Structures are given as C-alpha cells and as structure tokens.
Amino acid sequence: MAVKVSRKELHDDEIIAEIAHHYSEILRLIGEDPTREGLVKTPVRAAKALYDITLGYRQDAHAIAGKAIFEHDGSRIVIVKDIEFYSMCEHHILPFFGRVSIGYIPKGKMIGLSKLARIVDCFARRLQVQERLTAEICKLLTDVLPNDGVIVACNAEHLCMKMRGVEKQDSSTTTFDYNGRFETDAALREEFLRLIKI
C-alpha cells in the first residue's frame, strides 16, 4: 500500500526522482522498455518537464499581485490582451493553450502590467479546466485590486479534443468571467470585446 507523502516534506530533487520512478513504470505498463537507449533518460526528463509545467502549485498569486499595485487616479478601462499561456487539462493530463485578455476599471489603484501575465501563468501552470482558469484570474484581480469591474476572456485549443475523443482539429473554446460594471453595462462589455477583437 502506498504511503501518502506531503509535497512539503520532500525537496525538489526528491519529488522529481519520485515522479521519474512512476514515469518509468508507466512506460513499462504500456509495453515499452524504459531501459532501452532512447528511453533511459525519458522518465527524468518527463518528470522535470511536469514539475516545471506545474510550477503554479508552488507560487502564490496573491503575493505576485501584491508586489506591484500602485496609486492611479484614472478611471478608464485598462486592457492587456493576448497573454499567451500553456496549461494541462485535469481530465486527461493533456495540454491546452491559448491567450487570455484582461480588462479592469481602476479605482484609485493600478497593477503592473507584467504582473497580469505572471498571474495568468501562476493559475495556468497547474492541472486546470479553462472555465476555472478564467474565473480564478478574474476573482484574484477583483480581490487584490480596487476596481469598478474586472473582465477576463480566454480562448484556447485543447489537445484532448484534437488528439483523442472527437478529434476535432479546428475547434477552440472561449470562456469569459466578469463582474462590477462589466456585469451591469452591456455596452462596456461590447467595448472590451471590440478592443480585443473577439
């Protein structure tokens, strides 16, 4: 019987070694020889890649945002669009990737633009579903940044729909989350969508 070990009890290299052991077993179970020349280093490489891809579990999005909130007396919409991201579908552990656009109406404060990209990465680099990714970004910005409304649009392609299952190569998915004035003012929502060209 496996013993459940908290990640906090292990160092990074120990975690990678443990993941690599399981990758080696997976290779064996699908009919491969993990000791053959082309696969000898694959378990460790795959373990390091997975650990990097899931960096978001070891980051604090609130701390990222809190380092770059500044005074701002403007009240017009601020938009950062087409923030690229890569994530992993929690259902099949296959990649999905796309772009996130964020808009907010400042209320005495603004956030450093690069922090928006870092926040997207923090939530994307976990096992995710697109709907939750969109909502988590919106909620975090709503919580940490004084504002009159936040809106997040996410457009992504899912390899779980392209490589397996329905195998629809040209499909993409768009999700939105919004609050404040973006919820009550349809014209403001339309302005955001026009500006990001969705």
Active site residues: 89-92, 130, 158, 160
The pairing of strands 173-178 and 147-158 is antiparallel
Q: Which residue has the tokens 């552990």?
A: 93
Complete DSSP assignment for 106-170: ESSEEE-HHHHHHHHHHHHSSEE-HHHHHHHHHHHHHHHS-EEEEEEEEEEEEHHHHTSTT--TT
Q: How far apart are CA 101 and CA 134, in angstroms?
A: 10
Backbone φ, ψ for residue 38 (5° rounding):
-70, -15
Which pair of tokens denotes residue 9? 């009890």
Of 65, 26, 20, residue with least CA distance to 46: 20
